[in-house]
Amino acid sequence: MKKLNNKGFAITVILYGIVMMICMILLLTLSIMAGQRKNDKALIDNIKDDLNNVANNEFCATGLDEIDTTSHAAAPELIDGMIPVIYNECKDAWVKADPTTVWYNYSKQMWANAVTVSASTREKYEKIGVGETIDMNDINTMWVWIPRYEYQIPVGTAGNSSACSWDNSLMCYPTPGDIKINFINKEQTTASQDYKLMSAFQFNGEEINGFWAAKFEPSGTIGSCTNDNCSEGDIQIKPNQISLTNKNVSTFYFATKSMKNNKFEDYGFEQIATSDIHMMKNTEWAAIAYLSQSIYGKYGNPTYTNEVGLEKKIYKNNVTTDANYGPGVTGCAGDIVDGAPIYANSCPDGFTYETDNGVKASTTGNISGIYDMVGGSLEYMMARYTDGTFTSDQSGFTSTNLPGSEYYDSYSNEDATLACNGSECFGHALSETTRWHSNAFQMPNAANRYLVRDGGGGINSNEQTGIFAVYQNTGAASTDRSFRIVIKPYS
């Protein structure tokens, strides 16, 4: 056999090396292509999952990644005209929810929300699918479900304690603990050991599973209503609106009742006797306040786990239209918990209800909660001092048009420990929560018969303002006093 010379050997080696390099390049290319196909498949699968999640409102609704199976909260009871909704963070909009799947999760401080829409758009939104947007321009009222519960005030926090910083003559609890809450249904009519029931979960002597509370202070217009068939005005419950004020208590009450009795077509409410709409009572305010101060409200929201004291409080809505006691603007928030007043006709950029800062002003610390319960306008409650006989006052009520006792809370003594017929008023957020968070406390009396909640964003720029603040007033019209609305479903 003829041997290769050095030149031939070198050429052979080079050719062999080239072939090997080509093979390696081919193998590497095939490997990359296989890996790319695998990555492409994973990417496609991820896109499919994201699209499905968006469609199901899970991926884009923080806290709503699973059905609430641990809190045992009574399921919301929608009334005619209501559409269940959740907030879709990808769309920055409220979308239709499926009430049979993921709609709320009280264990994660996500409370159930519903809306009503204008008569001209109602049929459209009744037909749309789950996950489709409901335009804010078509919404006329927004509601939040408060489920029935029993409660326990933490030992050592009821009543008065160390001096408040804003008035050393008054006693307070600057940083109270959480209120213990057990959700129950209406079949449970007696409280568990060491717990108490809330009278807010009753209507006309009947036990109920919960109620709907207005998400914001009312806005829009109302006339001079003197009965519950008033046809004047257009009440709305929406964010970033100037709140309704400058009417006396009776006008607020009758305008609210007229939403179902006369203006029902505007909201889709049926006139059949399965629900009642009325101006909020003090006990109903208390039910929201207690829930907020529990593991199911802002107090228990893990977003604020590393924050103590003031950060656990609900931020104040400090936006008001006028330095001289003007109405507030709904759904705004300050940059700090007790921010100084801002005078404007709308919320500043970055401080509207849906923003990272805005949600701090809700009862949950997220967008699912109730707003304007700290700051905003002062809010008249249907709660009055009663000393045995009806006395004419500035509220507009008379001995003949004062509503039935189921529509207002009655207090017989300006001493909160004796105000309920000589006894303590449990479940009213009065003696049980006196001066919590250093809030103001003034019980109604013979001169100022009506109880007022909230602190007023443009009036008080310190810690007097808060969800446990209590004030007194005459019931007269004022530019800084508004109200709130409740719907109670019953059988």
CA neighbours within 13 Å on the CB side: how many for 422? Answer: 1
8-state DSSP, 109: T
Question: Which two structure tokens, joined as six digits, stand for 16?
Answer: 């062999």
Type and span of the H or E element at 411: strand 409-411
pLDDT for the residue numbered 158: 54
Question: Which two structure tokens, joined as six digits, stand for 438?
Answer: 């250093």
pLDDT for the residue numbered 459: 55
CB 151 within 8 A of CB 290: yes
Residue 122 lies in a domain: no
Residue 134 lies in a domain: no
Question: What are the C-alpha distances in Å from 55 to residues 50, 161, 391?
Answer: 8, 51, 58
pLDDT for the residue numbered 27: 66
Q: What angle do CA 276, 189, 299 make, to 5 degrees?
A: 75
Residue 123 lies in a domain: no
Q: Which domain holds residue 266?
A: 150-204+213-489
Q: What is the pLDDT along the chain (491 residues), one digit of tens a residue?
A: 444 444 444 455 455 557 666 766 776 666 666 555 545 555 445 444 444 544 444 447 656 777 888 899 999 999 999 999 999 999 999 999 999 988 999 999 999 999 999 999 999 999 999 999 999 999 999 999 999 999 999 766 654 444 444 343 344 555 677 899 999 999 999 999 999 999 999 998 999 999 999 999 999 999 889 988 888 889 999 999 999 999 999 999 999 999 998 888 999 998 778 999 999 999 999 999 999 999 999 999 988 866 655 567 899 999 999 877 789 999 999 888 888 889 999 999 999 999 999 999 999 999 999 999 999 999 999 999 998 777 778 999 998 899 999 999 999 999 999 999 999 999 999 999 988 888 889 999 999 999 999 866 555 556 678 999 999 999 999 999 999 999 999 98
Residue 377 lies in a domain: yes
Residue 70 lies in a domain: no
pLDDT for the residue numbered 340: 85
Long-range contacts of the stretch 22-30 (C-beta < 8 A, 24+): none
Report the number of distinct structural domains present in the chain: 1
Residue 30 lies in a domain: no
Residue 477 lies in a domain: yes
Helix (H, G, I), strand (E, B) or coil at 279: strand
CB 298 within 8 A of CB 362: yes
List strand residue ranges (DSSP E) for 215-256, in order: 219-222, 233-236
Closest CA to 68 of 359, 289, 296: 296
Taking the C-alpha atoms of residue 253 and residue 270, their distance in angstroms, rounded to an integer, is 19
Closest CA to 248 of 223, 231, 214: 223
Virtual torsion, Cα 77, 257, 288, 489, nearest 10 deg: -20
CB 209 within 8 A of CB 196: no
List strand residue ranges (DSSP E) for 14-82, in order: none
Closest CA to 403 of 202, 262, 228, 248: 228
The pTM of this model reads: 0.85
Residue 98 lies in a domain: no
Q: Which residues of 14-44 are buried (b: 16+ CB within 10 A; e: fewer)?
A: eeeeeeeeeeeeeeeeeeeeeeeeeeeeeee
What are the residues whose beta carbons fall under 8 Å from the beta carbon of 283, sequence distance 6 or more?
198, 199, 200, 383, 409, 427, 428
